[in-house]
Amino acid sequence: MFSLQFDRERIIHARGVDLSRGGLRCTTLEPIDLDATAFVMLRLDAEGETNTISLEARVLRSDQTDEDEYDVAIEFLTLYPEAAKKLDAYLSIVASD
């Protein structure tokens, strides 16, 4: 679970489906405008350790599904070195599971 914040006011909670170094795919209960810029906070839990990273991202796709959810694709715009290090470590752990 993570959150997407738009315009410092609108916060949308999302469930992650797929995560990579370049972005993520998630589901939300609310539609999100294409090309919207979001502040993303990701909570990365693996091997008993939790890391939270924050970054700026852009919405590439937001399609309604049959279950009244939205399938959303997000591209990371800023991935600072410390956040990249945490994300790479997380991805290597989950890839080996």
pLDDT score at 46: 81
pLDDT score at 97: 65
Domain boundaries of the chain, sorted by first residue: 2-96
pLDDT averaged over 10-residue windows placed end to end, the chain, 97 residues: 71 89 93 90 85 92 91 94 93 83
pLDDT score at 49: 84
pLDDT score at 20: 94
- What CA–CA distance (Å, rounded) separates 31 from 50? 29
- What CA–CA distance (Å, rounded) separates 74 from 96? 24
pTM, two decimals, is 0.84
pLDDT score at 88: 93
pLDDT score at 21: 93
pLDDT score at 16: 87
CATH 2.40.10.220 fits 2-96, yes or no: yes
Positive or negative, the Cα torsion across 52, 27, 77, 18? positive
Helix (H, G, I), strand (E, B) or coil at 1: coil
pLDDT score at 1: 58
Positive or negative, the Cα torsion across 65, 68, 69, 72? positive
Amino acid at 64: Q
